[in-house]
Amino acid sequence: MESFHHALKFKYDLCMGCSHCTSVCPTGAIHVEKGHPILNPNRCIDCGRCYLACPVNAIYIEQDDFQTIYNYKYPVVLIPSIFSAQFPETINQCAILSSIHHLGFQYVYETEKSVDIVKSVINKQVTDSGSMKPIISTFCPAIVRLIQVKYPSLVSNLLLIKPPLDLTAMYIKKFLTEEKGIPAEDIGVFYVSPCAAKIAAIKSPVGDEKSPVDGVLNMNYFYSKVYRVIKQGVYKLREENDFHTLSKKSILWSLTEGEINNIPTGRNLAIDEVHNVSQFLDKVENEDVKNIDFLELRACDQSCAGGILCAGNRFLIAERQKKRAQKSPDEVLPEDNNLLNYKDYLVENIKVGKVYPRSMDKLDDNISIAMRKMKKSYEINDSLPQVDCRICGYQTCKALSEAIVNNQATLKQCFFVQRILEQTDRLTTTEAMNIIKAVWGDKKLNKDSIKSLNLE
C-alpha cells in the first residue's frame, strides 16, 4: 500500500486539548489520548479543516526551507493564478512579478498555463460513452484521498490524468532543457501551494512515482516575503509579464465551477467544501443521485480561493480573479503561450497510474476476522448512547466502537457507560477518573483549577 505524506503537523506544547480538530475532521482521522490529538495517517486527507479549527495555532503545515531554492542555478517558481489576487488592487501584477524575481527566481510561471490541454482531455472523457459515470475530477488532491479512504467504491470513477500543476512543471523542464540548453540538474521547480493537500500530493503523489515539482512553499509565507519586497521598493521593475498569457477560462479554473464551465455537454455539477462534498458522495455511492456525467469536487469553500494557506479573504480573492478574467482574452494562441507548442508531449504523458482504495473501515486483512469485528462493532455501537459527545476521545460513538474491536480503546471510555457501571458498583469513582485522565490528561482534572469557583 502506498504511503501518505502528511503536511499537517501538531505542536503538542501549544495544544490545549480542546478537541476542536477532532470534531471537524471529515474522515474521523483524529482522536484524543492523554490530552493530545492523535492522527491516524491512513485516514487523514490533509484537507486542513483541523488547521482552521485550532484556536491556539497548535497545528502547522510543513513546507520546504526557502533557502533550498539556492541549491539550483535556475530556480523556477510555479504559482497558482490566485496568488496575485490576494494583493490589494493598488499593487499591479508587474510589481508582484518583479518582486518574485528579486527573491532569486530565474523564471516565474502560473500553473494554469496548461489548462487548455487538460480541458480538452476532460471533454473527450465526458463525451466518451464508454467512460464510467460520473467521472470525478482529480484536480483537488484532498478529494482524491477522501474518495480513497471514505468512498473506495468510487475510486474507479476518478479521472486518471495529471492536474495543470504537473503538466506545467513538465513543460517548464522540457522547455528549459531543450530550448534554453539548461542542464536538467540545474533546474529546480518550486510550487507555491494554497493548501496542505497539494503539499502532501507533491511529496507522495497518488498514481505517480514522483512529482515533477522539486519543492513546495507555503503560499501565506511566500505572500509575506513578496509583499515585504514590494513595500520596501527594493525590486527592479521588469517589463515582461507572464501573468497575461492566460485565457479567461484558465484564470477561472481554480475557482468553483472552473472545470464544469469548460464542458459544453452533459450533466455536470460543481461542489465545494469537504463536508458538502462528503454529503453528496454519500448520495452518489448509495445511487440516490444518478445520470451525472462529471463531478468537479473541491475540498475548500470557494475552491482554491479558499485554500487554508491563502493570505486574503476567499470571497475577495474570487472577486479579483473574476475581474482579471474579464480583461483576459477568450483564447490564447501558441505564440502567446509557448506551452501549447508542447501539446503532443504533454497529452502523451498526461495519464497517471491506477489509484487504489484505502478504506478507513477496514478492520482486518483477513476477511472472516474483519466480518466478525464488523458485527461486534455494530453491536457495541447500538449499545452506545449516540450522543457523539467526544468525551471518550473519539469523534463519534461509531468511531469508538471500531477502536474497541481493534483493541485501541475500551467501552469504559464512554462517559455514560462509566455512570451506569458506577451505579451498579462495577466501577469506582477513582477508576472512572483514571480512565478520563488517560484520555484527557491530568491537567483538565486538576482539583486546584476549580478552587476559585463557588460550587455551593
Q: What is the pLDDT of residues 321-364, one digit of tens each?
A: 999 999 999 999 998 899 999 999 999 999 999 999 987 767 88
Question: How many domains would you assign to the chain?
Answer: 3
**Phi and psi for 29 in degrees, rounded to 5?**
-80, -5
Domain boundary among 61, 86, 103: 61
Angle at 357 between CA 46 and CA 122, to 5 degrees: 80
Query: Is residue 373 one of the residues assigned to a domain?
Result: yes
Task: Report how far apart the first and last C-alpha atoms of the chain are (Å, whole number).
Answer: 58
Domain boundary among 39, 61, 83: 61
- CB–CB of 409/393 below 8 Å? yes
The larger pLDDT score, comparing residue 57 to residue 2, is at 57
Q: What is the pLDDT of residues 184-228, one digit of tens each?
A: 999 999 999 999 999 999 999 888 889 999 999 999 999 999 999
What CA–CA distance (Å, rounded) separates 402 from 375? 10
Which has the closest alpha carbon to 45: 21, 20, 27, 19?
Answer: 27
CB atoms within 10 A of CB 310: 23
Locus of grid cell 473506495: 152
Co-location of 299 and 390 in the same domain? no
What CA–CA distance (Å, rounded) separates 373 from 68? 48
Q: For the CA atoms of the chain, what is the radius of gyration?
A: 25
Domain boundary among 321, 348, 375: 348
Query: Is residue 356 one of the residues assigned to a domain?
Result: no
Co-location of 125 and 229 in the same domain? yes
Co-location of 182 and 139 in the same domain? yes
Residues 6+ apart with CB under 8 A from 366: none
Q: What is the mean pLDDT of residues 10-26?
A: 93
Sign of CA dihedral 139, 143, 145, 151: negative
Angle at 204 between CA 198 and CA 206, to 5 degrees: 85
What CA–CA distance (Å, rounded) separates 62 from 218? 8
Can you tell me whether residue 183 is helix, strand or coil? coil
pLDDT at 38: 94
Co-location of 191 and 272 in the same domain? yes
Please name the residue ranges forming H helices in 65-210. 93-102, 115-127, 141-150, 164-178, 196-203
Co-location of 296 and 414 in the same domain? no
Query: Is residue 361 one of the residues assigned to a domain?
Result: no
Chain-centroid distance, C-alpha 161? 18
Query: Is residue 355 one of the residues assigned to a domain?
Result: no
Residues in the chain: 456
- CB–CB of 80/217 below 8 Å? no
Co-location of 78 and 36 in the same domain? no
CB atoms within 10 A of CB 447: 6
- DSSP letters for 245-280: ---HHHHHTTSTTTTGGG--SS-EEEEESHHHHHHH
Q: What is the pLDDT of residues 252-310, one digit of tens each?
A: 999 999 999 999 989 999 999 999 999 999 999 999 999 999 999 999 999 999 999 99
Co-location of 174 and 259 in the same domain? yes
What CA–CA distance (Å, rounded) separates 150 from 27? 7
- Using left for φ > 0, alpha for ψ between -120 and 50, and beta otherwise, residue 386 falls in left
Query: Is residue 262 one of the residues assigned to a domain?
Result: yes
Which has the closest alpha carbon to 270: 305, 298, 301?
Answer: 298
pLDDT at 448 over 80: no
DSSP state of 50: H
pLDDT at 196: 96
Residue 367 pLDDT grade (very low, low, confident, very high; cuts 50, 70, 90): confident
Can you tell me whether residue 313 is helix, strand or coil? coil
Which has the closest alpha carbon to 149: 318, 411, 361, 389?
Answer: 361
Co-location of 322 and 407 in the same domain? no
Query: Is residue 274 one of the residues assigned to a domain?
Result: yes
Supply the pTM of this predicted model: 0.92
Co-location of 307 and 413 in the same domain? no
What CA–CA distance (Å, rounded) separates 366 from 352? 30
Query: Is residue 277 one of the residues assigned to a domain?
Result: yes
What CA–CA distance (Å, rounded) separates 30 from 47? 13
Query: Is residue 456 one of the residues assigned to a domain?
Result: no
Q: What is the pLDDT of residues 397-415, one digit of tens each?
A: 999 999 999 999 999 999 9
- CB–CB of 159/134 below 8 Å? no
Can you tell me whether residue 187 is helix, strand or coil? strand
Co-location of 22 and 93 in the same domain? no
What CA–CA distance (Å, rounded) separates 166 from 185? 18
Which has the closest alpha carbon to 46: 161, 138, 141, 155?
Answer: 141
Instruction: Name the packing angle between helices 397-405 and 367-383 (round to 10°).
Output: 140
Pairing of strands 59-61, 36-39: unpaired
Q: What percent of the chain has pLDDT over 70?
A: 95
Domain that holds residue 432: 367-446
pLDDT at 91: 92
pLDDT at 243: 63
Cell reading at 433: 477518573
CB atoms within 10 A of CB 10: 18
